[in-house]
Amino acid sequence: MNAVLAAAEITGAEAVHPGYGFLAENARFAEICEECGLVFIGPPPSAIRLRWGNKSEARRTVAAAGCRSCRDRTVPCAAGRRGWSLASAVGYPVILKASAGGGGRGDAPGVQRP
């Protein structure tokens, strides 16, 4: 964050695009940009917190707003074999998604697929 903000100051930038990944998912970075007088090219901090902070809460918010979403069956579970057994019970196709982040880096350390 500091390097991006310093580069913006040095170059006289008026706006910051966070790219993809870490800074794009950081609500505090969006707030700091605004505090520094920079336009944050992306969603407002409140939307970032909702979307990337807790996916289950984001799903409830969308439903409460009356928006339709994909039909699903949400089954909370810990990473590992229990997730795979629940997927088999629910039926395929299935998407296993971290409810609070996950980082898009694949399986948790030590998780073995069946």
Q: What is the pLDDT of residues 88-97, one digit of tens each?
A: 777 776 665 6
Query: pTM of the predicted model, to two decimals?
Result: 0.55
Q: For residue range 70-103, what is the model confidence (pLDDT) as tens digits? A: 655 555 655 566 777 777 777 776 665 666 555 5
Q: Say whether both 37 and 77 belong to one domain.
A: no
Q: Say whether both 45 and 86 belong to one domain.
A: no
Residue 95 lies in a domain: yes
Residue 13 lies in a domain: yes
Q: Say whether both 75 and 44 belong to one domain.
A: no
Residue 82 lies in a domain: yes
Residue 50: closest CA among 34, 30, 70: 30
H-helix or E-strand spanning residue 39: strand 39-40
Domain count for the chain, please give it.
Answer: 2
Q: The domain containing residue 49 runs over which residues?
A: 2-53
Residue 47 lies in a domain: yes
Give the chain's length: 114
Q: Say whether both 86 and 113 belong to one domain.
A: yes
H-helix or E-strand spanning residue 5: helix 2-11
